[in-house]
Structure 1
Amino acid sequence: MADIIQLLPDHVANQIAAGEVVQRPASVVKELVENAVDAGATEIRLIVKDAGKTLIQVVDNGAGMTATDARLSFERHATSKIRSAEDLFSLGTKGFRGEALASIAAIAHVEMNTRPHDDEVGTRICMEGGKLTSQEVTVTAAGTSVAVKNLFFNIPARRNFLKSNQVELRHVIDEFQRVSLAHPDIQFAMYHNGNDLFTLPSSNYRQRVVNIFGSRTNEKLVPVSENTEVLKLSGFVYKPEHARKSRGEQFFFVNNRFIKSPYLHHAVVAAFEGLIREQTHPGYFLYLEIDPKSVDVNIHPTKTEIKFDDEHTLYAILRSAIKHSLGQFNIAPLLDFEKDTGLDTPYGYKDRPASAPTIEVDADFNPFRDEEGEAGIPVSPGSFSTGGGKPGNTWGRTARKEDPSGWESLYIGLGDDDEASGNFSSVEIESDEVGGTSMPGQQLFDHRQGELPSVTTYQLHRKYIVTTIKSGMVIIDQHRAHQRVLYERFLRQMTVKEGISQQLLFPIVLHYSPSDMALLSELKGSMEFIGFAIDPFRGEEITITGIPSGVSESEVSIILEQLIADFKDEIPDSSFSQTDRMAKSLGKTLAVRTGEVLNEAAQEALVNNLFACKEPGMSPFNRPTYITITVEDLEKKFL
């Protein structure tokens, strides 16, 4: 039998290894920016074109590299961060694997210009598909500039799997924010297609958070601080009233490295228990300093997942520290049974002697004596009344009792005439009639002029609407059905650009971070087609002067928040058009929820509107909206 196992060629092995490190343009941004931080840079600039598909360039003023180091940096497992295996247990840097530049160079065109501060000239190296194309001496600024062009040019399958520019840019911004939040002492800047997205001067942690997420963030932050033998905790959490329905600003940093930890996240959520509404998530920026020997960061290629020696202790400290901060700053209610503030003595009364209270008794007061000398009208004991023209100064006077005779006259006429007495059992609510040509699904309701005209609809468990049809009954999921109705309505309005808008007497002003404002600017056109009237954007502020018909003012912020979250998280699928995705997001946000009570008129309207849709059987997310149960199915249950 011939041998079948053989070594892979170097270029194939490099491309396979690159798949672990470089998954999308954001992966390149992470590796290059972290290398700049490890190089001791105080200024880092990120330049991106077409969300990183065309160009990713990172320019820093760090230490720079010699010609030999620059060439060696593109070799696999070449690094300046560690020297032995023991160094893995006391890591103080970020990129220590030595695979970043090698993996990037294997799947892109890379140009590096670097110069140490002590040298007069630098080195320029060009790589293409993992092969060196040129190396020469050049004049360049001190530090390093790495430009990655045409990512995945030699792996078209991987390039085809990339999302839209909007989604990929969102991931690039996420990586940029994570590194910049961990190092507020470094000046960062980011540019996309020539536009300045972020300019972050050197500052402290709080100012860095505010610079990234907007000036309004400052009033939302509650500082958290705890110093123990196990860890040193610092950072901020959002006030409970600013909890969001989507997972927004949630950042953990361990030794200045961004991590993801569902276990520690649960500790934060537990600290907010009872303070935030259900289905909402708190925001936080928490920095943990732990002994590097008790942390293992070498378990994942992206190094965002780490292991701790004693997770239970970290959980307890994190939870208690956040609860303490919320209580210390009067965010959470406190109960102290050992002290009553009502018993506190003011400072001004410290040296004053106590005085006994005086009591005055009316010796002539007789509760059984007739008022004004008239008999037969006793004065009720202890009652208070103002009489005789003297306001409120007589204790024991009351008004006379009214004569109770003739009380039967109050009930004359009751029961004689139901219509006159207001019998509301026969009140009819006018509903919209659907006329014209037959609707999809209308054949289910052909019986309504026939044998069961009095049977309409009823709500089951505040979730389903049940109505009869000719062959049996229909059970409709009210949430999914309303999603379908709203989805087709918004889609039609955006398509014909005839959304009905109701003008607001007082405009609504909302504030968002720069990245959210960039996303809303792309959605502004579609939002106006469905009825939103939006003034030109100003910085971090958006002013809404009109809203779609049927939308309340209190729902506007919820709608925009859900829109931002859906487009950030690629929900719905980004393969659909922006119009379709927005219609789905709005339908999901505004649809009636499970648990909401619908009156008979609302139930009828929802049923009629559902079966007037083009596809009444499925929700916008391909879930069934109703099921039918025939009489034969019911009869089988009784066999």
Structure 2
Amino acid sequence: MTDIIRLLPDAIANQIAAGEVVQRPASIVKELMENSVDAGSTRVQVLIREAGKVLVQVIDNGKGMSETDARMSFERHATSKIRTAEDLFAIRTMGFRGEALASIAAVAQVEMKTRQHGSELGVRICIEGSEVKEQEPVVAPEGTSIAVKNLFYNVPARRNFLKSNPVEMRHIVEEFQRVALAHPEVAFSLHQNDLETYQLAAGKLSNRIVQLFTKNHQEQMAACREETPHLKLWGYIGKPEFSKKTRGEQYFFVNQRYIKSNYLHHAMMSAYEGLLQADTYPFYVLFLEIDPQEIDINVHPTKTEIKFADERTVYAIVQSAVRQAIGAHNLTPSLDFDQDVNFTSRLAATVNIPDTAAHSRPDRSWEQFRQSSTQQQNLTNWEQLFEANRGGGGGAGATPGGRPPQTIIQPSRAFTQSVMVESAANQLKTTESAEGYDSGVDAQQSVFQLHGRYIICQVKSGMMFIDQEAAHQRILYEKFLKQLQHGSAASQQSLFPQQLQLNRQDMELFQEYEEEIRSLGFELSHFGGDSLVIQGVPADLAGVDSQRLLEGLLEQLKHHRTDLSLGKREQTARALALRAALRWGQRLELAEMRSLIDQLFACQTPAYTPDGRQTFRLLELDKVAELFKQ
């Protein structure tokens, strides 16, 4: 019997290793930038063409390499950072496994130019598919330049799996941001297709955060620092009111290496417990410095996951340090002791808002659905408002017996401008689609609102409970989707256009979905860099804060873009529907409730929200009867 086990050729072995190390162009950016940092560079330039598919070039002013080292750097498992097994437990550099350049050269065309400090000439090496094509002396600046061209040119199947340019560029920006955050003492720049994306000067961490994201981060950052015999922690955390619906601005660095750790993230979230809205995430950039012998970084090919020898202690220190920072910077809500709480409570009852609003800042985004002249009069004639609360009913606007007047709310535009579809749900007779709900005038007393969250109406078989937020999401989703399909969305011009400054990731996301966003009725223009000017919003959403609306839309798109079952139109329609829908706590008038019910049952899929939650439930009469059985 012949032998069947053979050693793999180096080229094939390198391609197999490349499958772990080089997943996309962003992987190359990460590896080359980390090599530049390890080389002691003070300035690193990153040049990108066609989202890295055509070119990824990293130029630094580090110490460079000799001719022998330059050639050896492309061999597998060739490294300058490990000599003995013990060195694995004392690693403080980024790269160390010696696979990066060999793996990259196996699936791309690579050109390296490098010159050591003090040398007259450098060396130029060209490699294609692990095969050295050229090696010659060359005049070059001190440092190293590595250009990676035509990624996966010899592995077409891998190239076909790459995403669109905006998606791949977003991954590149993410890796660039991570390395730039880890090393604020190094100047970095990023150019895409000869256009400058970032120009980051060396400086403090706080300056680097503002340079990478937006100036708004100046308002939300609070310093966090803790030092123990076990580890040292420092960095910045965000104020609770600036938390976002999606992850993306949460960074942990251990010994200046970016890591992903659900365990440490849980420590962060537990420190913020009671301060965040549901399903929101705070901003944080935290650095942990710990003895390398207490961690194992060689557990994942990309080195983004590590193991701690004593996870519980690290968890407790992170949680304690963040809680201390929150308290030190007074980020928790506090009571105003100069204010008459009872007086404020009476005021809250008069204007028909919850008592808790006297001490908190509730989400007022639902005001876009109200156009109440009575409320404006109450704000203008505030003396009459307080007179109404005095005993005896002598104040203007008071009802007999001293009771406060009832605030009359006009039906909102979102409901009165109904989407009229040929459906039995729009008729005045009893319908099957609404399970026996009668939308006629005689049904006025059979519809009411429960705790500002649910609409309850009488149906033939019993009672129907409608989640008003979920129902409105379904209505808006189908309306927006129809507008995207037919291009029929109307836009409301803004009297005073608003300028919106985005971070680079959000701008890449906007460019990816720009066509769909404009089709919904947004009128936008670029204002240089990563700034947009909002000149108009969808007509149905006129009167809202356009800046918050667009920011919220982008946040929702971040949250849902990983859903591969949805196309871009569906993702955009869902994101805007979730952002613009009614919120729990909004009081609705009878006309608004009836209009919402009519529009819900005119939908193609009235029973479920775009993300699969039920919009209504039925409670049948026999179930009600069972509640009273002995």
**TM-score with structure 2 length normalisation?**
0.75
Alignment match, 2:578:
588
Alignment match, 1:217:
217
CA contact (8 A) 1:213 1:513 kept: yes
Q: Indicate the SS of the match to 2:433.
A: helix
Alignment match, 2:368:
none
TM-superposition CA deviations, 1:297-356 (whole Å, max 9, x none): 111111111122222222222222222233333334689xxxxxxxxxxxxxxxxxxxxx
Cα distance between partner residues in 2 of 1:554 and 1:184:
38
Gaps of 5+ in 1: 336-401, 403-409, 412-421, 425-429
CA contact (8 A) 1:41 1:62 kept: yes
- Post-superposition shift, 1:564? 2.6
- Post-superposition shift, 1:58? 0.7
Q: Is 1:444 the counterpart of 2:444 in the alignment? A: no
Q: Indicate the SS of the match to 2:141.
A: coil
Evaluate the alpha carbon distance shift between residue 193 and residue 598 of structure 1 in structure 2; reply closer, same or farther with a 3 A threshold.
Answer: same
CA contact (8 A) 2:245 2:556 kept: no
Cα distance between partner residues in 1 of 2:420 and 2:244:
43
Q: Is 1:233 the counterpart of 2:233 in the alignment? A: yes
Q: Indicate the SS of the match to 1:589.
A: helix
Please, what is the CA RMSD of the aligned residues?
4.0
Alignment match, 1:194:
194
CA contact (8 A) 2:174 2:505 kept: no
Alignment match, 1:23:
23
- Post-superposition shift, 1:451? 13
Evaluate the alpha carbon distance shift between residue 16 and residue 328 of structure 1 in structure 2; reply closer, same or farther with a 3 A threshold.
Answer: same
Alignment match, 1:106:
106
**TM-score with structure 1 length normalisation?**
0.74
Alignment size in residue pairs: 549
Cα distance between partner residues in 2 of 1:448 and 1:320:
55
Q: Indicate the SS of the match to 2:541.
A: coil
Evaluate the alpha carbon distance shift between residue 526 and residue 88 of structure 1 in structure 2; reply closer, same or farther with a 3 A threshold.
Answer: same
Evaluate the alpha carbon distance shift between residue 128 and residue 221 of structure 1 in structure 2; reply closer, same or farther with a 3 A threshold.
Answer: same
Evaluate the alpha carbon distance shift between residue 185 and residue 454 of structure 1 in structure 2; reply closer, same or farther with a 3 A threshold.
Answer: closer
Alignment match, 1:120:
120
- Post-superposition shift, 1:46? 0.6
CA contact (8 A) 1:189 1:200 kept: yes
Q: Is 1:527 the counterpart of 2:508 in the alignment? A: no
CA contact (8 A) 2:35 2:94 kept: yes
Q: Indicate the SS of the match to 1:331.
A: coil
TM-superposition CA deviations, 1:414-456 (whole Å, max 9, x none): xxxxxxxx9x9xxxxx988987755799873697799998597
Alignment match, 2:96:
96
Aligned partner of 1:94: which letter?
A: M
Q: Is 1:485 the counterpart of 2:466 in the alignment? A: no
Higher mean displacement: 140-149 or 474-483: 474-483
Alignment match, 1:571:
561
CA contact (8 A) 1:327 1:334 kept: no
Alignment match, 1:559:
549
Cα distance between partner residues in 2 of 1:480 and 1:449:
21
- Post-superposition shift, 1:100? 0.4
- Post-superposition shift, 1:174? 0.8
Q: Indicate the SS of the match to 1:233.
A: strand
Aligned partner of 2:234: which letter?
A: S
- Post-superposition shift, 1:284? 1.0
CA contact (8 A) 1:51 1:192 kept: yes
Higher mean displacement: 133-142 or 535-544: 535-544
Alignment match, 1:399:
none
Aligned partner of 1:520: which letter?
A: F
Q: Indicate the SS of the match to 2:125.
A: strand
Evaluate the alpha carbon distance shift between residue 615 and residue 272 of structure 1 in structure 2; reply closer, same or farther with a 3 A threshold.
Answer: closer
CA contact (8 A) 1:167 1:568 kept: no
Evaluate the alpha carbon distance shift between residue 566 and residue 169 of structure 1 in structure 2; reply closer, same or farther with a 3 A threshold.
Answer: farther
CA contact (8 A) 1:465 1:477 kept: yes
TM-superposition CA deviations, 1:49-75 (whole Å, max 9, x none): 121122111111111122221121111
Cα distance between partner residues in 2 of 1:264 and 1:448:
51
TM-superposition CA deviations, 1:358-379 (whole Å, max 9, x none): xxxxxxxxxxxxxxxxxxxxxx
Evaluate the alpha carbon distance shift between residue 627 and residue 2 of structure 1 in structure 2; reply closer, same or farther with a 3 A threshold.
Answer: farther
Aligned partner of 1:192: which letter?
A: Q
Evaluate the alpha carbon distance shift between residue 248 and residue 557 of structure 1 in structure 2; reply closer, same or farther with a 3 A threshold.
Answer: farther
CA contact (8 A) 1:231 1:290 kept: yes
Aligned partner of 1:319: which letter?
A: Q
Aligned partner of 2:551: which letter?
A: E
Q: Indicate the SS of the match to 2:222.
A: strand
Cα distance between partner residues in 2 of 1:575 and 1:113:
45
Cα distance between partner residues in 2 of 1:570 and 1:120:
54
Evaluate the alpha carbon distance shift between residue 187 and residue 609 of structure 1 in structure 2; reply closer, same or farther with a 3 A threshold.
Answer: same
- Post-superposition shift, 1:504? 4.4
CA contact (8 A) 1:440 1:614 kept: no
CA contact (8 A) 2:246 2:559 kept: no
Evaluate the alpha carbon distance shift between residue 628 and residue 5 of structure 1 in structure 2; reply closer, same or farther with a 3 A threshold.
Answer: farther
Aligned partner of 1:318: which letter?
A: V
Q: Indicate the SS of the match to 1:215.
A: coil
Aligned partner of 1:267: which letter?
A: A
Evaluate the alpha carbon distance shift between residue 237 and residue 632 of structure 1 in structure 2; reply closer, same or farther with a 3 A threshold.
Answer: closer
Q: Indicate the SS of the match to 2:59.
A: strand
- Post-superposition shift, 1:574? 6.0
Cα distance between partner residues in 1 of 2:613 and 2:577:
14
Aligned partner of 2:149: which letter?
A: K
Evaluate the alpha carbon distance shift between residue 4 and residue 540 of structure 1 in structure 2; reply closer, same or farther with a 3 A threshold.
Answer: closer
Alignment match, 2:42:
42
Cα distance between partner residues in 1 of 2:500 and 2:420:
42
- Post-superposition shift, 1:200? 0.5
Gaps of 5+ in 2: 336-391, 393-399, 409-414
TM-superposition CA deviations, 1:254-297 (whole Å, max 9, x none): 11111122222222222222333232211111122212221221
Cα distance between partner residues in 2 of 1:224 and 1:571:
32
Q: Indicate the SS of the match to 1:140.
A: coil
Evaluate the alpha carbon distance shift between residue 260 and residue 576 of structure 1 in structure 2; reply closer, same or farther with a 3 A threshold.
Answer: same
Q: Is 1:511 the counterpart of 2:501 in the alignment? A: yes
